[in-house]
Amino acid sequence: MNGLPLKMDLHVHTCYSYDATTTLREVVAYAKKRGLDGVAITDHDTVQGALKLIHKNSPLILPGVEVTTQRGHVLALNVTTPIPPRLSPFETIQRIHEVGGIAVAAHPTAVFKGGLRRQMRQQIVSSFDALEVINSTAFPFFLSTHLGRKLAVRLNLPQTAGSDAHHASGIGLAYTLIEADLDVDEIVRAIKRGAAVPVGKPIPWKIRLQNAVSSLKRRGCKRAYSKSSI
Ligand SMILES: [Zn+2]
Ligand SMILES: [Zn+2]
């Protein structure tokens, strides 16, 4: 690796998620604006948005998906095929590995986000490649982050951070510093060996409220795309 670590937001939703508004064009614009080297696109149970963005090189797009399992959410990174939802966490992790991805426990310690922590048995936990210890939308943020870090240290698992932005303004609120060159395979290997430092802050209440209102007006990707060349 040459120079500074990469700054990557490893948890970003687009309008391909049923509950997000960010267009693909906004993903690119806000990633640049926030000084990110790349973002992981992790829509709920679909890779459509990630696949559309993957051919654009700036910022680097790490394709992924946030898989709904029987017991909470699992981030699949470096995945370009959908992973079936509502499997057990263990089976989900296996499927992710089969297609060459890495499995990250999403917001495992957030109280109101259906994290995996309470139900996680040792066998499941040890199969994860990393834990998302900072998630900007997790609530309560500081407690979730503290517990997430503690859990990752206890389990000796690498730590990641992501904004979990469902609206463009949230992109980059949290990011992971990764010691790797700008290459998807290298980035994934670096995360797996723990060459990653999570950084981030909570989504401000003002934006949280604005997002709640704009969610009601959500139009999805089709309308959002009619004016976009991406
Ligand atoms: Zn989630
Ligand atoms: Zn999410």
3-state secondary structure 158-213: CEEEECCECCHHHCCCEEEEECCCCCHHHHHHHHHCCCEEEEECCCCHHHHHHHHH
Judge whether residue 165 has pLDDT over 90. yes
Once rounded to an integer, what is the mean pLDDT over residues 96-116?
83
Query: Of 103, 151, 154, 110, which is closest to residue 130 (Cα–Cα)?
Result: 103
Judge whether residue 7 has pLDDT over 50. yes
Both tokens of residue 127?
């199969």
pLDDT for the residue numbered 229: 41
Judge whether residue 226 has pLDDT over 50. no
CA of 111 to the centre of ligand 1 (A): 12
The answer to whether 218 and 13 have CB atoms below 8 angstroms apart is no
CA of 36 to the centre of ligand 1 (A): 21
CA distances from 1 to 182, 183, 185, 186 (A): 9, 10, 13, 9
Q: Residue 185's pLDDT band (boundaries 50, 70, 90)?
A: very high
Both tokens of residue 179?
């010691």
∠ CA 106-120-148, rounded to 5°: 45
**Average pLDDT of the chain to the nearest whole number:** 89
Q: Residue 230's pLDDT band (boundaries 50, 70, 90)?
A: very low
> pTM to 2 decimals?
0.91
∠ CA 111-116-122, rounded to 5°: 135
Once rounded to an integer, what is the mean pLDDT over residues 121-150?
89
CA 38/CA 1 separation, integer angstroms: 16
In percent, the amount of the chain with pLDDT more than 70 equals 86
Once rounded to an integer, what is the mean pLDDT over residues 108-119?
62
Ligand approaching nearest to the C-alpha of 17 = 2
Ligand approaching nearest to the C-alpha of 11 = 2
pLDDT for the residue numbered 167: 93
Q: Which residues surround ligand 2, an ion (CB under 5 A)?
A: 66, 164
CA of 20 to the centre of ligand 2 (A): 9
Which one has a higher pLDDT value, 113 or 130?
Answer: 130
In percent, the amount of the chain with pLDDT more than 90 equals 72
Ligand approaching nearest to the C-alpha of 166 = 2
Q: Which of 9-13, 19-23, 77-81 has the lowest mean pLDDT?
A: 19-23
Once rounded to an integer, what is the mean pLDDT over residues 93-104?
97
Find tokens 């966490």 and name the residue: 89
CA of 95 to the centre of ligand 2 (A): 19
Sign of the C-alpha dihedral computed for residues 218, 221, 223 and 227 taken in this order = positive
Once rounded to an integer, what is the mean pLDDT over residues 131-136?
96
Judge whether residue 154 has pLDDT over 80. yes
pLDDT for the residue numbered 217: 66
Q: Read off the pLDDT of residues 45-84 as tens digits, 9 standing for 90 and up.
A: 999 999 999 876 679 999 999 999 998 899 999 999 999 9
